A and B are shown apart, each in its own frame.
Chain A
Amino acid sequence: MPVDPPEGAALPAGKGARIDLSGMTKRYGGAVAVDDVTLTVEPGEFMTFLGPSGSGKTTTLNMIAGFTDITSGTLRIDDRPVGAVPAHKRDIGVVFQHYALFPHMTVAQNVAFPLRQRRVPRAERDRLVAAALETVQLPGHASRYPRELSGGQQQRVALARAIVFSPRVLLMDEPLGALDRKLREFLQLEIKRIHREVGSTFVFVTHDQEEALVLSDRIAVFNNARIEQVGTARDLYERPATLFVARFLGESTVLRGTATPDGSRSRLDLDGFAVRASGGVRSGPAALVVRPERLRLEADESDAGGGGNAIPVTVVEEIYLGAARKLEVLLPGGARGLVREQAGTSSDLRVGDRARLCWHPDDCVLLPDDPTTERILT
C-alpha cells in the first residue's frame, strides 16, 4: 500500500489510474443487477454513472470498490486485474451518501484513519491531514466530533478522508444526495475544483442529470442493469443513442411512427402527416426526438422552406421562466410537443392559438422505438 510521500504540494496532480470494466456482471440469485457492463475510465477523468434508482450504477461502483463480488467479467485498474483483491488492499478512496464518518473519532482522527492503516509516520500524518482539511476548506475543525458539524461539513470531512492517502481512484456514491439544493450546487463546484487539484480518476454516481452535466468529463447512462450510452454531456444531449437517454437527459419532444428510407434521409409517417429526419436511416417503428430549443413556432401560413418539417399545432400551455418561456403544443393525432423560446425572440402566441411547428431535419434524431422507457420514466 504505497503512499507516495509527495514533494512540495500535499496532493500532487496527474496521478489518476485507468479503470477497465469488461463484461462485468452481477447476479443476485436469478436477478441481474449489472448486466455485461464494458467501459474504460481514462486516467484523471471525471466519469459519472447516471441513471434511475435500481439501474445498476451503485452496484457497479461497489464492484469497483470491492464491496461486492463480481459474478463474471473482469475489472482492471492500470492493467492489473483486481477482481480478487479485497477492498482494503485496492487503495481506492470512497465517499458515501451517508458520510460514514466514525462518530467516536474527531475530524482529525477520521482523516488520519487511512494513514494510520498505512503506517504513515506521525509527523507526515499530521502534515497530510492538515493539507487534506485545507483542500476541502475545513481547517480549524480538526478537534471537533462529526456530530458537531453540519451535513455539508461532514461530507467535506468524508472527502478529506478519502483523498488524504492520495488514492489514484476516488469513488463517490451520491455524495450530495442528503444535502439541500443550494449546498449541493456549491459542493458540486468544490468537487470539481478538488478533482482538478488532486488529479485522481473520479467515478461519481448520481441520479440527478444536472449534477452529472455540471461535473463530468463523460457520463455513462445506466438503465435496467446496462449502460445505454457513454459520452460527453454534449454527445448525450445532442446525439442520444437511445430513446431512454434522450428522455432521461433534458427535455424533448418525442414523435412515434413508422420510418422508411427517403434518399439520404428518413421519412417518418405519423398519424396523418409525415416528417423527415437526417442521420441513421432506419425502417420500421421509430421515435423522433427534438430538443425544445430546436423547435420554432410560426404564426403565419408561409412555408418554412428549405425542406424543413412543419406541422399544424395548437398551443395548450405556456410556462414563463424569465429568460425564456416554454410552450406546450398539441399535434394532430394527440401527441404533445415542447417548444422553448428565448426572451426577446419569442413569438406572440398565446394559449389557444393555432400555429405551425417547424424544425430542420438535421436538428432531430431518429431512434429505435422503445416502449419500456414510458414505464421507467413516468
Chain B
Amino acid sequence: MAALLSPLSPSGPAAAATPAEKGGGSRGRARNRPFLLIVPALLVLLAVFAYPVAQTFVSAFTTPSPGTGNFAWFFGSPANVAVLTRTFSTALWATVICLCLAYPYAYLMTVASPRARATLLLIVMLPFWTSLMVRTFAWLVLLQDTGLVNGFLGLLGLGPVSLVRTQTGVLIGMVQILMPFMVLPLYSVMSGIDRRLLTAAQSLGARPLVALLRVFVPLSLPGVAAGATMVFITSLGFYVTPALLGSPSEALISQFMYTQVSGMLMWGRGGAMAVVLFAATLLLIGLLGLAMRAGRRGKAGAR
C-alpha cells in the first residue's frame, strides 16, 4: 500500500521519469513502477467520477433530511417501480436483439477474407464515429410517420406504423447505437477460436452444423458474456435516445432522474434512483456470474 501511495507525494507522477529514480531504488520499488503509469488516469477518475458519484450517493441519504426518506418515496410509488422494471426489460430486449444480430455478423467477420473483414469492420465502426445526437436525430427523421421507413412500408401496402414515441422506436435506435459494443467483443473472442477444431469435430462424425453448435458456440461464450454485459449496462443508463425517440409516458429511469433533478431540484430523489439502479445492476451481474460459474462446474461434473 505504501508503494502505491508514494506516487501521490508532492513530486507526483513526474518523479517516475526522472533519471535519479531510474538509477537507484530497491527491487520492490522497481517492480511497482508500472503502477505509476496509471496514476494520471486514476487522479482524473477520482476527481471527475468517483467524487461526484459518492456525492450523489451521499445526497440520497442526506437531502433534504437525513434518513431513508428518498427510498421510501421511490418504492412507495408503483409508477416509479414500473419505470425501473421497464428500464431493465428494455435493456434486456436491446441486449437480446443486439446478440441475435451481432453473432452471425461477427461469425461472418471471422470467416471472411481480410479485405471483406475490413469492410465489415468499417460498416460497424462508421456509425460509432458519428455523434450519438446526430444518429438519434437521423432515426427520428427515418422513423417518423411520414419518414422513409413508413414511406417504404406504404409502398408495400402496409399502413403507417407509429415508430417514434414508442418502445419499438427506442429499441431500434438503441440496438443500432449499441451494436459495436456487441460485435467487437464477439469478434475478438471468435477470431481466437481455432477453426481446425471444427475440422476435427467433423472427422469424429459431427455434421458441420453440430460441430458449430457443440464446439464453436461454447468456445465463443466468453465473447457473448462480455458483449451482453457491455450492452446491457450501457442500455440501463441510456438517456438521449429514449428521450428523443421514446414516449414521455413510457420514460426510462434516466429520464426520470433528469426530471427529478433538473426539473424539480430533488437531488436526493435523483441520488436514491441512482443508488437503486446501481444496486440492481450489481445484483443482476452478480447473479449472472454465479449462474455462469455454476454452469461451467455443472458441465465439468457431468461426467
CB-nearest residue of chain A to B205: A117
Q: Do B204 and A98 touch (CB < 8 A)?
A: no
Q: Do B303 and A104 touch (CB < 8 A)?
A: no
Residues of A within 8 Å of B300, CB to CB, are 106, 143, 145
- CA of A106 to CA of B208, assembled, Å: 22
Of B66-74, B112-120, B129-137, B192-200, the one contacting chain A is B192-200
Q: Do B202 and A106 touch (CB < 8 A)?
A: no
Write the A91-105 contact mask toward B (1 if CB under 8 angstroms, else 0).
Answer: 111101010101110
Q: How large is the interface on B (under 10, 10 to 19, 20 to 34, 35 or more residues)?
A: 20 to 34
Q: Do A108 and B303 touch (CB < 8 A)?
A: yes
CB-nearest residue of chain B to A88: B202
Q: Do B201 and A104 touch (CB < 8 A)?
A: no
CB-nearest residue of chain B to A108: B303
Residues of A within 8 Å of B194, CB to CB, are 98, 100
Residues of A within 8 Å of B218, CB to CB, are 104
Q: Do B196 and A98 touch (CB < 8 A)?
A: yes
- CA of A88 to CA of B202, assembled, Å: 5
Measured between C-beta atoms, what is the minimum distance from B1 to chain A in Å? 34
- CA of A1 to CA of B200, assembled, Å: 17
- CA of A88 to CA of B205, assembled, Å: 4
Write the A107-138 contact mask toward B (1 if CB under 8 angstroms, else 0).
Answer: 01100111001100000000000000000000
- CA of A177 to CA of B291, assembled, Å: 41
- CA of A112 to CA of B205, assembled, Å: 11
Q: Do A87 and B203 touch (CB < 8 A)?
A: yes
* A161 touches B (CB below 8 Å): yes
* B243 touches A (CB below 8 Å): no
Residues of B within 8 Å of A103, CB to CB, are 219
Given known pairs A106-B300, A109-B303, A165-B205, the reply for A94 and B219 (CB within 8 Å) is: no
Q: Do B203 and A88 touch (CB < 8 A)?
A: yes
* B212 touches A (CB below 8 Å): no
Given known pairs A112-B303, A143-B303, the reply for A100 and B205 (CB within 8 Å) is: no
* A277 touches B (CB below 8 Å): no
Q: Within B150-171, which residues are at the interface with A (CB < 8 Å)?
A: none
Residues of A within 8 Å of B208, CB to CB, are 88
Partner of B204, one of A67, A108, A145, A161: A161
Residues of A within 8 Å of B226, CB to CB, are none
- CA of A113 to CA of B214, assembled, Å: 10
Q: Do A96 and B205 touch (CB < 8 A)?
A: no
Measured between C-beta atoms, what is the minimum distance from A203 to chain B in Å? 13
* A65 touches B (CB below 8 Å): yes
Q: Do A91 and B205 touch (CB < 8 A)?
A: yes
Q: Do B303 and A106 touch (CB < 8 A)?
A: yes
- CA of A348 to CA of B113, assembled, Å: 65
Query: What are 11 sample pairs from A and B whose C-beta atoms fall under 8 A apart?
Result: A67-B202, A87-B199, A88-B203, A88-B206, A90-B203, A98-B196, A100-B194, A100-B199, A104-B299, A109-B303, A165-B204
What 3 A-B pairs have minimum CB-CB distances, sorted nearest first? A117-B205, A100-B200, A114-B204
